[in-house]
């Protein structure tokens, strides 16, 4: 075995235990996934991997945190890649989606509004429609600008909560493995970790059960990309930036289209998988 199974097993087991416990306790206390508290639960959920990573690094590995886990703020060109690649993924996904049968361009954002009907009140939907009509700048461009600002800042801080675990501790412990084997293990573990929130409708509100499989496929495709950026940048901060920027830009892929569902369109759908697969092929062939 090319890695310490005890450390890896402890990290996975404790991360699953405490992350899933947050969701279970929230729901057991009567919490609703569409409530204002959901964001707080999601943030707490996302920070568990980093907390477990820090605890194991100090108490089990008995090593410092900064260098072994790749905590480096020294910028290089891969920090720029981490910032802008998610935007490229979102726009490419939008283009791929428009090639699918039954998907059409929708400047009035009717498709997005329809998706939001299950989470917004009729009054909020009406206000959103009014803003789309009255805004001098289309909301798509506003969202694009916001994503470029929020992605590498606020979102990256939250993304760091995951990345210090996945691309910090776990990638370090699996570093003796081949890059693709390591990425495969991290991708599977990362995808399954999302199970309790996917079942609540996160990312796949129309298909929560099928979403379990889709999420694992999604993280399997993302894992080599995030790991590649982390290695090239020599910093887990870069992987936090790409994670935060991806979360900020995913909405751009579905804002101006109508048709399809959460399994076919969007970065977490089939159209996004095609884009991510192409990037993986480029990495595999040494083109990036």
Q: What pLDDT digit, counting tens, does each position of 39-58 carry?
A: 999 999 999 999 999 999 99
Report DSSP state, residue 252.
Answer: G
Is residue 26 predicted with pLDDT exceeding 80? yes
Cβ-count burial 105-119 (b if 16+ within 10 Å, e if not): ebeebbbbbebeeee
The count of domains in the chain is 1
d(Cα 136, Cα 168) in Å, to the nearest integer?
Answer: 44
Q: What are phi and psi of 142, to 5 degrees?
A: -65, -45
pTM value is 0.94
Task: Kindly give, in sequence order, each residue whose CB lies less than 8 Å from that of residue 284, ignoring residues fewer than 6 positions away.
Answer: 180
What percent of the chain stands above pLDDT 90? 84
Is residue 118 predicted with pLDDT exceeding 70? no
Is residue 124 predicted with pLDDT exceeding 80? no
Q: What are phi and psi of 68, to 5 degrees?
A: -60, -35
How confident is the model at residue 35, as a pLDDT? 85
Is residue 168 predicted with pLDDT exceeding 80? yes
**Range 151-168 average pLDDT:** 97
Is residue 107 predicted with pLDDT exceeding 90? no
Is residue 126 predicted with pLDDT exceeding 90? no
pLDDT tier for residue 129 given thresholds of 50, 70 and 90: confident
d(Cα 208, Cα 196) in Å, to the nearest integer?
Answer: 10
* Domain that includes residue 112, residue range: 5-284
How confident is the model at residue 46, as a pLDDT? 97
How confident is the model at residue 80, as a pLDDT? 98
Tokens of 118: 């299950």
133-147, 148-162, 254-268, 272-286, range with the lowest pLDDT: 133-147
**Dihedral (Cα; 43, 45, 51, 53), 10-degree rounding:** -120
d(Cα 172, Cα 165) in Å, to the nearest integer?
Answer: 10
Average pLDDT, the chain: 94
**Range 252-272 average pLDDT:** 95
Tokens 């109508």 found at: 258
Q: 284 in helix, strand or coil?
A: helix
């Amino acid at each position: 075995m090319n890695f310490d199974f005890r450390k890896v097993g402890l990290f996975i087991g404790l991360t699953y235990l405490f992350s899933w416990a947050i969701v279970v306790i929230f729901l057991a206390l009567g919490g609703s996934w569409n409530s204002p508290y959901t964001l707080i639960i999601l943030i707490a959920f996302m920070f568990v991997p980093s907390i477990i990573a820090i605890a194991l690094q100090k108490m089990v590995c008995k090593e410092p945190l900064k260098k072994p886990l790749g905590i480096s703020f020294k910028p290089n060109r891969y920090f720029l890649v981490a910032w802008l690649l998610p935007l490229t993924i979102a726009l490419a996904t939008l283009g791929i989606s428009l090639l699918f049968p039954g998907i059409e361009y929708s400047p009035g954002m009717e498709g997005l509004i329809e998706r939001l009907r299950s989470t917004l009140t009729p009054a909020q939907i009406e206000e959103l429609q009014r803003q789309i009509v009255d805004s001098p700048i289309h909301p798509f461009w506003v969202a694009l600008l916001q994503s470029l600002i929020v992605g590498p800042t606020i979102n990256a801080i939250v993304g760091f909560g995951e990345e210090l675990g996945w691309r910090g501790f776990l990638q370090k412990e699996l570093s003796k493995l081949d890059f693709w084997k390591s990425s495969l293990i991290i991708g599977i573990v990362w995808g399954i970790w999302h199970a309790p929130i996917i079942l609540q409708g996160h990312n796949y509100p129309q298909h929560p059960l099928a979403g379990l499989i889709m999420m694992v496929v999604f993280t399997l495709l993302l894992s080599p990309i995030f790991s590649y950026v982390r290695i090239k940048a020599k910093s887990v901060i870069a992987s936090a930036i790409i994670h935060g920027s991806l979360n900020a830009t995913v909405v751009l892929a579905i804002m101006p289209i109508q048709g399809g569902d959460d399994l076919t369109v969007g970065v977490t759908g089939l159209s996004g998988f095609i884009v991510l697969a192409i990037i993986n092929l480029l990495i595999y062939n040494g083109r990036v």
